[in-house]
């Protein structure tokens, strides 16, 4: 009989970081997006790590890269 047990944390969500460093901090710059849902998202995710932000399912790695490129957010070291 095999007594090995595998435990998996229920709260752990698999996230595709798309090459981004998950420990960087998602920081809103103050530049406001035209689309209100995007502006709300920038504020809601402000201060979270990239991994936490993507785990919320409000953004994916491509969204984060776009937001950085357009100047809506910066990714800062913790």
- Counted domains in the chain: 1
Q: Is residue 56 part of a domain?
A: yes
Q: Are 16 and 54 in contact (CB under 8 A)?
A: yes
pLDDT tens, residue by residue, 16-29: 999 999 999 999 99
Residue 68 belongs to domain spanning: 25-76
Query: Does the pLDDT of residue 3 top 80, yes or no?
Result: no
pLDDT tens, residue by residue, 30-64: 999 999 999 999 999 999 999 999 999 999 999 99
Q: Is residue 68 part of a domain?
A: yes
Please provide the average confidence, as pLDDT, over all residues in the chain: 90
Q: Are 27 and 78 in contact (CB under 8 A)?
A: no
Q: Is residue 18 part of a domain?
A: no
Task: Report if pTM > 0.95.
Answer: no
Q: Is residue 29 part of a domain?
A: yes
CA 33 to chain centre: 17
Query: Does the pLDDT of residue 65 top 70, yes or no?
Result: yes
Q: Is residue 2 part of a domain?
A: no
């Amino acid at each position: 009989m095999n007594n090995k047990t595998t435990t998996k944390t229920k709260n752990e969500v698999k996230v595709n970081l798309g090459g981004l460093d998950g420990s960087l901090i998602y920081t809103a710059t103050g530049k406001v997006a035209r689309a209100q849902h995007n502006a709300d998202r920038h504020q809601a995710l402000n201060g979270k790590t990239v991994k936490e932000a993507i785990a919320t399912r409000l953004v994916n790695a491509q969204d984060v890269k776009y937001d950085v490129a357009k100047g809506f957010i910066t990714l800062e070291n913790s």
